[in-house]
């Protein structure tokens, strides 16, 4: 269930009229009234669109700081009333939704752990019925696009019309420079499937450090993301959660000043003509590539017929490894990353096995 063009609201909080991305900033957790107020005061000058703060924190291990809880709701009310900033918090249960609405929180977000659990999302969605509060849905912790789309659909089905998606990266096992692997292809595909859902990048939870915040934010903007969510603390070294990835309001303003905001298109005629001709060339090359892949599949089928006659197994790991190693080397010499070659050849290999299986089972 996609949002149709006709369903797009004329007034949508998440859709900005200027070129600046939608900016969400604030501490990981609301720790004290002073910390919330000092951080928010520092952010007024950054001209943010939404002040974020976790008041119920889903911590991995028990005993870690779990946010200020209900006691923190009046602090956010002060941010709104005294500083004029709209506020947003994460909600994970119907009771939390109820409390947030009672304290006039402007926007709610569903966290990554909740999105991973359809029962949780449904409970939250049921609690949202009858309200018109804007909601942001973070990607699930696991790299599962359908689960993310499903979460958004559950919120849509509850009647919420202003919905945005937040890309905060995905859990992965093993070493990575990221705290949460971005797997950019997943949000890109989400955007293709749900083009009217604004897409924001939570660079803080992708990075898990301060150094890479700028490059990840710029990368997202270059992919035409609609906004950024970044964790800010007036005294980050002493933050009670996610200290290593938070920056001060001043550092945030400096970061913003270094970002290049790009537009999706331009009305410059030279630009339009030039891009159209390059795109035509790209389409032609894509057709050529698909024709070549189709030729390759015919060869796979021929091999499949021989394997069938000689009763040889379809999958031969040694041969597959040889193909992969050779292609990675070839790709490297032609400026293609190992990761890309791996993805590409895995897809080709799967299709080839399918063709050979069809031959074996007599469909071809």
Residues that bind ligand PEP (CB under 6 A): 28, 54, 58, 111-113, 138, 168, 202, 205
In angstroms, what is the minimal distance from the CB of 44 to ligand PEP?
21
What tokens does 13 get? Answer: 């909080």
Non-local CB neighbours of 10 within 8 Å, separated by 6+ positions: none
**Residue number, nearest CB to ligand PEP:** 111
Non-local CB neighbours of 203 within 8 Å, separated by 6+ positions: 212, 213, 216, 217, 220, 228, 229, 230
| Cβ pair 229, 52 in contact under 8 A | yes
Sole window of 79-87, 129-137, 238-246, 315-323 interacting with Mn ion (rule: CB under 5 A): 238-246
262 interface partner picked from Mn ion, ligand PEP, none, CB below 5 to 8 A per type: none
**Which residue from 179, 234, 237, 172 is spatially nearest to 203, judged by alpha carbons?**
179
In eight-state DSSP terms, residue 72 is G
167 interface partner picked from Mn ion, ligand PEP, none, CB below 5 to 8 A per type: none
CB atoms near residue 182 (< 10 Å): 22
**Can residue 242 be called a binding residue for Mn ion (CB under 5 A)?**
yes
E strand or H helix at 277: helix 269-309
In angstroms, what is the minimal distance from the CB of 169 to ligand PEP?
8
| Closer of 125 and 341 to ligand PEP (Cβ) | 125
| Closer of 205 and 214 to ligand PEP (Cβ) | 205
In angstroms, what is the minimal distance from the CB of 173 to Mn ion?
21
| Closer of 153 and 242 to Mn ion (Cβ) | 242
138 interface partner picked from Mn ion, ligand PEP, none, CB below 5 to 8 A per type: ligand PEP
In angstroms, what is the minimal distance from the CB of 171 to ligand PEP?
10
Phi, psi of 141 (to 5 degrees): -60, -35
| Closer of 25 and 46 to ligand PEP (Cβ) | 25
| Cβ pair 180, 150 in contact under 8 A | no
134 interface partner picked from Mn ion, ligand PEP, none, CB below 5 to 8 A per type: none
In angstroms, what is the minimal distance from the CB of 302 to Mn ion?
55
| Closer of 35 and 352 to ligand PEP (Cβ) | 35
| Closer of 28 and 232 to Mn ion (Cβ) | 28
**Could you give the count of Cα atoms lying within 13 Å of 203 in the half-sphere of its Cβ?**
26
| Closer of 100 and 328 to ligand PEP (Cβ) | 100
355 interface partner picked from ligand PEP, Mn ion, none, CB below 5 to 8 A per type: none
**Can residue 153 be called a binding residue for Mn ion (CB under 5 A)?**
no
d(CA 224, CA 21): 9
| Closer of 113 and 308 to ligand PEP (Cβ) | 113
In angstroms, what is the minimal distance from the CB of 275 to Mn ion?
39
Interface positions, 7-66, toward Mn ion (CB under 5 A): 28
User: Taking the alpha carbons of 212, 214, 217, 218 in that order, is the dihedral positive or negative?
Assistant: negative
Non-local CB neighbours of 266 within 8 Å, separated by 6+ positions: 272
**Residue 60: helix, strand or coil by DSSP?**
coil
**Can residue 199 be called a binding residue for Mn ion (CB under 5 A)?**
no
In angstroms, what is the minimal distance from the CB of 84 to ligand PEP?
23
In angstroms, what is the minimal distance from the CB of 208 to Mn ion?
9
d(CA 250, CA 257): 11
| Closer of 111 and 134 to ligand PEP (Cβ) | 111
In angstroms, what is the minimal distance from the CB of 92 to ligand PEP?
9
| Cβ pair 133, 107 in contact under 8 A | yes
How much of the chain is helix, strand and coil, in % rounded to 5? 50, 10, 35
Non-local CB neighbours of 48 within 8 Å, separated by 6+ positions: 23, 24, 25, 26, 85
Token match 């004329």: residue? 10
- Interaction site with Mn ion (CB under 5 A): 28, 242
């Amino acid at each position: 269930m996609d949002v149709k063009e006709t369903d797009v609201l004329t007034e949508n909080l998440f859709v900005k009229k200027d070129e600046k991305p939608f900016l969400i900033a604030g501490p990981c957790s609301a720790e004290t009234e002073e910390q919330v107020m000092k951080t928010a005061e520092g952010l007024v000058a950054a001209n943010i669109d939404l002040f974020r703060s976790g008041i119920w924190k889903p911590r991995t291990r028990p005993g870690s700081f779990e946010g200020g809880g209900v006691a923190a709701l009046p602090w956010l009310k002060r941010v709104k009333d005294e500083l004029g900033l709209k506020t947003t918090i994460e909600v994970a249960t119907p009771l939390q939704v109820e409390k947030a609405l009672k304290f006039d929180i402007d926007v709610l977000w569903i966290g990554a752990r909740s999105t991973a659990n359809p029962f949780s999302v449904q409970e939250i969605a049921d609690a949202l019925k009858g309200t018109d509060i804007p909601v942001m849905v973070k990607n699930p912790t696991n790299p599962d696009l359908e689960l993310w789309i499903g979460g958004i659909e559950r919120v849509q089905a509850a009647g919420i019309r202003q919905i945005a998606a937040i890309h905060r990266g995905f859990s992965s096992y093993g070493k990575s420079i990221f705290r949460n692997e971005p797997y950019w292809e997943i949000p890109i595909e989400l955007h293709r499937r749900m083009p009217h859902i604004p897409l924001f990048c939570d660079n803080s939870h992708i990075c898990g450090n301060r150094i890479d915040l700028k490059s990840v934010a710029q990368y997202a903007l270059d992919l035409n993301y609609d906004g950024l969510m970044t964790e800010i603390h007036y005294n980050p070294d002493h933050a009670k959660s996610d200290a290593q990835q938070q920056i001060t309001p001043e550092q945030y303003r400096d970061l913003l000043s270094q970002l290049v905001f790009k537009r999706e298109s331009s009305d410059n005629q030279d630009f339009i003509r030039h891009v159209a001709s390059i795109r035509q060339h790209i389409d032609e090359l894509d057709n050529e590539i698909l024709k070549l892949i189709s030729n390759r599949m015919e060869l796979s089928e021929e091999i499949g017929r021989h394997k069938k006659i000689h009763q040889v197994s379809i999958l031969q790991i040694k041969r597959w490894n040889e193909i992969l190693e050779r292609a990675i080397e070839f790709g490297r010499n032609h400026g293609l990353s190992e990761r890309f070659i791996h993805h590409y050849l895995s897809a080709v290999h799967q299709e080839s096995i399918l063709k050979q299986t069809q031959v074996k089972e007599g469909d071809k």
